[in-house]
Amino acid sequence: MRRLLLSLTLLLGCAWGSVAQAADTCTVSVTNIDFGAVSPISGTDYVAQATGTFSCLFSSLNLGQLLTPNAQVCISLGLGTNSTSALPRKLGNGSNRMEYNVYVDNSYATAKIWGGAGVAGAPSTFGMILSAGLLAPPGTYSTTFTVYAKIPAGTALAAVPTVGNANTVYTSSFAGVGTYTYTTYGLINLQGCSASSGSFGFTVNATAINDCTITATPMAFANASILTGNLRSTSTLSVRCVNNNAYQIALNGGSVAANVANRQMKNTVTTDKVSYLLSATLDGAPWGDGTAGTSMVTGTGTGASVPLTIYGRVPAQVSPRPGDYKDTVTATIYF
């Protein structure tokens, strides 16, 4: 009897020792966030998503956890590189910055910015419970959650530059500043999500692209019965290019003459034509496409809309028959 009792005691000791060696462990991971191509002058928000995964290896021999293995986790996020505040966070390229933020839901509300207790202005965290189910066998179990990110339209985005007149990648790293605390338990959790901890990381990227928009107002010359002197008029091009984005603007030869050095307007009824000139300054060099003695207008974007004046002149010439004379000139911006 004594030998049997001693043997039983040793077996029990081995069983309790195996509990200490087979602790349940959990991890958190988040995929990278990529906004893709972002035009700072588009006037639209850009959104992106990532998938987070909370995984646990349940292997405990504790009776309660063996019957119903569960885990509760709280997941926080720091500022990331290139940010000094969560209001807003910033992506970076050298000294340049692009504002954005990361959220726990798709309301994109300030109150839902993903942060934590130590992140000023961003107290929201992800919290969840992973349950393997009643009498689930030992193994790895997972659940997923969605991370939301947004670059808001506005003056801050419009000021974002490209570098070297090329598409420019802005980035932020969260390596090691994603943190989580968790507790594994059986029937009842008395510790919240504070028993164990870990860290994770991911990156956020956005590519600022070179982009320009251009619009024009019509040019209308005053009525004249005879063309014995100059007739003048102006038109305005509205040009908007990404900050630091170099551009050139060409004017073609028009739909009538197709000649940048000798544009013409045509009578809408007859075949009569009137010659005219276009320039970037009053009586300046002809504005064309860089051929036949003409030049293009060049500039560098600021992110804001810039007005450019087109000066039109009908020089003295043989007066044509009365009527309406028209031409269509196409402005093309190269960037």
- Per-position pLDDT tens, the chain of length 335: 333 333 323 232 333 333 333 579 999 999 999 999 999 999 999 999 999 999 999 986 555 565 789 999 999 999 999 999 999 999 999 999 999 999 999 999 999 999 999 999 999 999 999 999 888 888 999 999 999 999 999 999 999 999 999 999 999 999 999 999 999 998 889 899 999 999 999 999 999 999 999 999 999 999 998 999 999 999 999 999 999 999 999 999 999 999 999 999 999 999 999 999 999 999 999 999 999 999 999 999 999 999 999 999 999 999 999 999 999 999 999 99
CATH number of 22-208: 2.60.40
The answer to whether 22-208 and 212-334 have equal CATH topology is yes
HSE value, Cβ hemisphere, 13 Å, CA-based, for 117: 5
> What is 159-187 written as a DSSP string?
TPBPBTTB-EEEEEE-TTTEEEEEEEESS
Q: Where are the domains of the chain?
A: 22-208, 212-334
Does domain 212-334 correspond to CATH entry 2.60.40.10?
Answer: no
Residue 78 makes CB contacts below 8 A (sequence gap 6+) with: 115, 116, 118, 119, 174, 177, 178, 179
pTM of this prediction exceeds 0.85 = yes
Residue 294: its pLDDT value, please? 98
